[in-house]
Amino acid sequence: MKYLNSVITGTGSYIPEVRVTNKEFAQHLFFNKDESSIETLVEEVIHKFKDITGIEERRYATDDMNASDLAAKAAELAIANAGIDRESIDQIIVANNFGDVAKDTIQTDFLPSMASRVKHLLGIQNPSCIPYDIIFGCPGWVQGMIQADSFIKSGLAKRCLVIGAETLSRVIDKHDRDCMIFADGAGATILEAVESDEQKGILSVSMMSHTNQETYYLYLGKSYAPETDPKVRYIKMDGRKIYEYSLTNVPTAMKIALDKSGIPADQLKKIIIHQANEKMDEAILIRFMRLCKIQKPMSEIMPMSIQELGNSSVATVPTLYDMILKGEVKGHEIHKNDIIMFASVGAGMNINAIVYKQ
């Protein structure tokens, strides 16, 4: 029996050059949501932030680069890694939240779409290569992979380029403590149809969406600084509610994906989870491991990059995956036939997970 599999044949990531350490926020004036000033010393705010999130530094794009530029650079690396002709790509799927945001404009730009811009930057001439964006919050790249898998399994596509790219540094409120979480970056994968005698690649998926009281846990709002223009809006979030929502729902979604795959829980080698917050990711994993009765050290199964790269939204999962494959994450490797999981949660609120056989 032959199986039609959706297999990752190439990966690439682009980590921006500008390194911003926590110390560089020491000159910021931080305010609460009610515009009252935060009286705690900024050094104490930064120290507490590091303890909670694990973030020590993050990367920002240079002034001359937009999210589509980062995406194209990651895509070039993925295409080269796969060793394919770019004209053979059937779909370009770009996950993002804000499109291109030019430096100092705070204006999101989706005209044309990010995917169309990437196709242009890659110089692809094939009119049958269809570019489109996915706006799905931080789980966007995972959702793009799920969508590409559906097209491949249905026979409507053979080769897809799936990218997550974001320049969150362009939409942060520098007077909001949460601005220290966000970062820029891009990760890309080539997913293609491969026939074989065994199942491999994407084995199973799960998805969730909660849009009642959860819808606006992440949103755009005015700066917390007094006397700022209320018409200019920045990324905002209710961190406590996001934490509680994620801890309640993400482990369940992950277990559903694992159960659907039929793979015994003890065979799961790595969980590549969205790098949102170190403490939150650890809490999610602890609960998931309890649900599935996995007896492994957490440090063995969950690689992390948030300490150095921050939270680049849709880019965190593909970037971390690419880094592991290229031996850039100390203590973590992925080998042929390893069972891994991709998982994410974010704005919407949306959750998804993929079980993947390398």
Alpha-carbon distance of 84 to 10, in angstroms, equals: 9
Question: Exactly one of 5, 22, 96, 311 is catalytic; which is it?
Answer: 311
Q: Which pLDDT does position 41 carry in this prediction?
A: 72
Q: How many helices (H) and strands (E) does the chain have?
A: 9, 13
What value, to the nearest 5°, has the Cα angle with vertex 30 and ends 28 and 35?
Answer: 145
Last residue of a domain, one of 159, 175, 196: 196
Question: Exactly one of 97, 129, 160, 274 is catalytic; which is it?
Answer: 274
270/142 same-domain check:
no
Known catalytic membership, residue 311: yes
133/208 same-domain check:
no
Q: Which pLDDT does position 240 carry in this prediction?
A: 95
176/227 same-domain check:
no
221/287 same-domain check:
yes
Tokens for 183? 């970062």
Residues of the chain under the 70 pLDDT cut: none
Known catalytic membership, residue 129: no
191/239 same-domain check:
no
195's enclosing H/E stretch is strand 184-196
CATH of the domain at 292: 3.40.47.10
**Structure confidence by residue, pLDDT tens digits, 269-296:** 999 999 999 999 999 999 999 999 999 9
Q: How many CA atoms lie less than 13 Å away from 214 in the CB half-sphere?
A: 19
Which ranges of 34-126 would DSSP assign to H, the alpha helix?
A: 42-53, 67-82, 114-122
Q: Under 8 Å CB-to-CB from 232, ≥6 apart: which residues? A: 106, 222, 223
The pTM for the full model equals 0.96
Last residue of a domain, one of 173, 196, 219: 196
For the chain, the domain total comes to 2
91/174 same-domain check:
yes
Q: Give the residue numbers spanning the domain of 176.
A: 3-196
Last residue of a domain, one of 129, 161, 196: 196
Dihedral class, residue 134 (left if φ above 0, else alpha if ψ from -120 to 50, else beta): beta
123/207 same-domain check:
no
Q: Under 8 Å CB-to-CB from 99, ≥6 apart: which residues? A: 67, 108, 109, 110, 113, 114, 133
Known catalytic membership, residue 274: yes
Annotate 198-210 with b (16+ C-beta within 10 A) or e (fewer). Answer: eebbbbbbbbbee
Q: Which pLDDT does position 43 carry in this prediction?
A: 84
282/175 same-domain check:
no
